[in-house]
Structures are given as structure tokens and as C-alpha cells.
């Protein structure tokens, strides 16, 4: 069998979870910066969410996007990404209001102050009421990852973009200058890369890509109006350890 046909055969044998089993994680995106003195409480909350078991109430996928617009001060966030800034600006257009830190966006639909634990957990609970999402899986294949998206439950014209996000589960940073000078920050699920894998048109589809920068990865299926339709994560690398950054 030709290699291309063999790959196709292997992928066709992979079974996506059924629509009933597709109880996807609620996605919480935190827009933050190491130069923002108001951000450490929000980052601590993201850390708690990242370590809470899924339990009967379902799973949460928290992701910390470090923006670039604080870098003009005398501390440069080593994890700041232009893609994070652009993503927050896109949310500001959809949700109304300015971009700020710390801002949390839940399932692409609700924006609030990222340190507001009561409000954030209430928004997560409301997002769970939407029910199961589009089934999705993300798996390693050597130096690549394979993303599989299931079909929409009906022929209602559902569509969206498939996003691959590389992130590190944990970082410890000693901040030497700026608003957080002298503090040691513990930060969880720090996004290191964001890649658009292509468009999903409502039918089952498979996407492959080189493994992204970051110790592990997540997959988001996002509708054109910003709603998160599906999400999946890779298991954390067994060799993953905390890193310390000193700047």
C-alpha cells in the first residue's frame, strides 16, 4: 500500500467521540501581562482552574494569552505574543469595549475582569448549559499532530476555524523591573503559539500540522461569531517541568 493511502486508512479508522460524548471543556482565555500589577490574582485563578479535576460539572480549559502592549514599559514579558494581542482586539470588536488586562473571555462569548472569580465561575456554569459541542480530538503522530473534527449535529450550516494552540503548563518568573518588580510570578497554561489550521465547513474533517511551540497543545473550533464550538487538549508531556525565566 502506498504511504499516502496507508495514512488515509489509519486516519479513517480513528473513531471520534459521539455527539453525546462530546462534553467538551469550557474554554477560558485570560489576556494578561507580566508588566501588569493587576494580573497576578487573575493568573492565580487560572492556575487553580488548570489544576481542578473535571468532576461531575465538566472540564475547563484555561489558556493564558500574554499581550504585547505592556512591553513599552521597562519590563518585557518573555511570553508576549503579537497573536495574543490581535486575538484580544478581535474580541474587543465583537464584545464591545476596550482591550484591557486582566481580561477573561469565556467560550468566546463573555468578557469580564479576569480576577473576578465569582463572575468567572458563573460564566463557566452558563457556558456549560449550552450542552455538548462538536466532537474533536487532538493526537500526536511523531513530530506532527492530527486534529479530527466531527460533523455538526444537523445541517444548519455550521462552520468555523480550526485553531491549534501550543502552551506550557507552568512557568515561574522572577520579575526584576516594572509594576511587578521584585515579585515571583507563578503562571499556568502560558500560550506560546497560535496557528490557524483551516476552515471547518460542518462535515467531519482531519487536519495535520507540525507540533506547535509549547510543551503541549490544545485545539479550538471557533465559529465566525466567536463562539467556541469544540475543544480538545493533548495530555501534558510526562517530561514537562516548570521553567524559570529571568530577564
DSSP state of 178: S
**Per-residue pLDDT tens for 118-138?**
999 999 999 999 877 899 999
**Alpha-carbon Rg of the chain, whole angstroms?**
18
**For residue 11, what pLDDT band results from cuts at 50, 70 and 90?**
very low
For the entire predicted model, the pTM comes to 0.86
113 in helix, strand or coil?
A: strand
Which residues fall within 8 angstroms of residue 128, CB to CB, at 6 or more apart? Answer: 26, 57, 58
Euclidean distance between CA atoms 81 and 63, whole angstroms: 13
| pLDDT value for 235 | 56
Q: Is the pLDDT of residue 3 over 60?
A: no
| Predicted pLDDT at 155 | 57
How far is the C-alpha of 32 from the C-alpha of 13, rounded, in Å?
41
> What angle (nearest 5°) sits at the alpha carbon of residue 30, between those of residues 24 and 36?
170
pLDDT, tens digit (0-9, with 9 covering 90-100), for 90-122 = 999 999 989 999 999 999 999 999 999 999 999
Amino acid at each position: 500500500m502506498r504511504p499516502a493511502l496507508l495514512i488515509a486508512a489509519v486516519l479513517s479508522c480513528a473513531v471520534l467521540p459521539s455527539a453525546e460524548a462530546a462534553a467538551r471543556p469550557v474554554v477560558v482565555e485570560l489576556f494578561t501581562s507580566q508588566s501588569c500589577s493587576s494580573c497576578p490574582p487573575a493568573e492565580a485563578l487560572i492556575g487553580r482552574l488548570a489544576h481542578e479535576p473535571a468532576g461531575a460539572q465538566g472540564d475547563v480549559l484555561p489558556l493564558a494569552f500574554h499581550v504585547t502592549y505592556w512591553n513599552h514599559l521597562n519590563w518585557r514579558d518573555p511570553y508576549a505574543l503579537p497573536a495574543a494581542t490581535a486575538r484580544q482586539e478581535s474580541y474587543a470588536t465583537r464584545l464591545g469595549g476596550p482591550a484591557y488586562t486582566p481580561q477573561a473571555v469565556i467560550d468566546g462569548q463573555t468578557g469580564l475582569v479576569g480576577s473576578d472569580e465569582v463572575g468567572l465561575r458563573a460564566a463557566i456554569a452558563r457556558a456549560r448549559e449550552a450542552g455538548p459541542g462538536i466532537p474533536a480530538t487532538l493526537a500526536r503522530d511523531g513530530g506532527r499532530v492530527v486534529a479530527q473534527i466531527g460533523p455538526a449535529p444537523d445541517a444548519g450550516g455550521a462552520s468555523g476555524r480550526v485553531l491549534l494552540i501550543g502552551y506550557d503548563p507552568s512557568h515561574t518568573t522572577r520579575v526584576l523591573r516594572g509594576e511587578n518588580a521584585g515579585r515571583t510570578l507563578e503562571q499556568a497554561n502560558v500560550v506560546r503559539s497560535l496557528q490557524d489550521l483551516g476552515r471547518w465547513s460542518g462535515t467531519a474533517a482531519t487536519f495535520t500540522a507540525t507540533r506547535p511551540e509549547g510543551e503541549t497543545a490544545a485545539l479550538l473550533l471557533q465559529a465566525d461569531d466567536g463562539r467556541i464550538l469544540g475543544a480538545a487538549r493533548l495530555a501534558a508531556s510526562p517530561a514537562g517541568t516548570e521553567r524559570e525565566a529571568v530577564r
